[in-house]
Amino acid sequence: MKIEKPNYENPLVERYASREMLTVFSADNKFRTWRKLWIALARAEQSLGLPIDDEQIKEMEFYQDDINYEVAKEKEKETRHDVMAHVFAFGQQCPKAMPIIHLGATSAYVGDNTDLIQIREALMLLSEKMLRLMDAMSHFCLRYKDLPTLGFTHFQPAQLTTVGKRGCLWLYDLLMDFENLQYQLQRLKFRGVKGTTGTQASFLKLFEGDHERVELLDKKVAEIMGFNDRIPVTGQTYTRKIDFEVLSVLSGIAQSLHKTTNDLRLLQHLKEIEEPFEVGQVGSSAMAYKRNPMRSERIASLCRWVIALQQNAAMTQATQWFERTLDDSANRRLTIPESFLAIDAVLDIALNVFSGLVVYEKMIGAHIDLELPFMATENIMMAAVKRGGDRQQLHEQIRLHSMKAAERVKKEGKSNDLIQRIADDPQFGLTQNDLAHLLEAGQYVGRAPEQTSKFIETEILPILQKYPWTPATSSDLNV
């Protein structure tokens, strides 16, 4: 039997992540960045007096994006060293520049600095996607800010809130994540040129003991690569604490959207809110009537993966040896890109969900009608007292009526007739119209509408106006 595709394919690549994020962590982007770093190093060294001529740099620039991968691949089989294999391959194309490629540097110069560049590019991409999602969520919150719904504590009916206010709870978590992402993005520093154990000894040798020029070299290379700040001290590698802090931001986003989609899945079970369901979509291979919350489930599934990967970064940081150990290398090749690819997918799916959420107001109202009579008993009792009733007697009557109504609902599966019982009880002296007024759901949502409006106005809109972003052209899923 012939197998068409015998090789394993990563679902993050094949099914979930966007082309933009895949490009950031692609091999081509990585190795082109290596060459940009070698050119930046040569330019900076030349400007500080090392014997490097313009022709050598022009030769390197000519082949910057034309990578001879086959040469590098064969050389790596021989040397078991990816950086030296690519130095060799670049040198094959640039024979004049070969003597000065990677001059004074160690592998971490291209490896770690490229990681930081990719992390910065990925964070910037996520930043824009978060802004798009926050915009979509804010529209949802404002649209339904006045729509009463049952609040839940312990997933048991509690005081009313509004659909929009509940959305603000989801959005506030994401706002905190966005602020953490911006903090990490702003404080992300370049490793720079630090040498084999971080002492810059090789560069000090090249510049004949001139400490000032070594410091300027570090600064110039960072500026050429678009960084204002450099990590002040490193071993051979930058501290893996940075990886942990970045992945903690991604874990935070995952935690927020996992919680949000947990709520959406429960609401879909209650038939109150439903994620988008396309005309030809199949909910179950066996049960044709089903409308499963597959988008929210996919988000939750990928989010758990990201949360778990954060712990991987923590263990990598904790187990580093002195100035460098290599047992982080293979691990980081997986954990960093896959965390970003997964969150990238999660944000795209979440945007799709919030761009098409369906709210079933009649079903929400039906659930309120089932529970509100119990919640309104305090207001009913106060209204009856104002009409001359005895509070203690009325309290006892409400207790008895409530128990009978609850028994009717739970044991007999019938409707809640508490209001009818109260209307028929002459001790309350309240008409059906009186009771209907006391049961208007909007009286029981407190300041939920006002809180929603204020939150969006004072917390979300300033963020959407402060940072650059463009509306998504589409919110379709890959699959």
| Amino acid letter, 61 | E
Residue 454: the pLDDT is 98
Provide the residue count of the chain.
479
Residue 279: the pLDDT is 47
The number of beta carbons lying within 10 Å of the beta carbon of residue 468 is: 8
Whole-model pTM over 0.85: yes
Spatial separation of the C-alpha atoms in residues 273 and 276, rounded to whole Å: 10
Active site residue 453: no
Residue 282: the pLDDT is 53
Please report, for residues 147, 341, 362, 388, 443, the alpha-carbon distance to residue 376 in angstroms, rounded to integers and kept in the order given.
18, 49, 20, 19, 10
Please report, for residues 121, 200, 300, 472, the alpha-carbon distance to residue 345 in angstroms, rounded to integers and kept in the order given.
16, 40, 11, 14
Among the listed residues 26, 102, 138, 154, the single catalytic one is 154
* Residues 181, 130 contacting (CB under 8 angstroms): yes
- Name the nearest CA neighbour of 33 among 238, 231, 225: 225
Hunting for tokens 């992540």 — which residue is that? 17
How does pLDDT run across 374-430, given as a tens digit for each residue? 888 888 888 889 888 889 999 999 899 989 988 998 899 888 888 899 989 898 988
Hunting for tokens 């004049």 — which residue is that? 96
Domains (ranges, CATH) in the chain? 28-100 (1.10.275.10), 107-276+289-363 (1.20.200.10), 377-438 (1.10.40.30)
| DSSP helix/strand/coil, 146 | coil
How does pLDDT run across 11-60, given as a tens digit for each residue? 999 999 999 999 999 999 999 999 999 999 999 999 999 999 999 999 99
| Amino acid letter, 451 | Q
How does pLDDT run across 278-308, given as a tens digit for each residue? 645 555 444 544 578 999 999 999 999 999 9
Among the listed residues 26, 86, 251, 284, the single catalytic one is 284
Active site residue 154: yes
- pLDDT < 70 stretches in the chain: 1-6, 278-290
Please report, for residues 124, 294, 355, 357, 474, the alpha-carbon distance to residue 352 in angstroms, rounded to integers and kept in the order given.
20, 12, 5, 9, 8
Residue 288: the pLDDT is 44
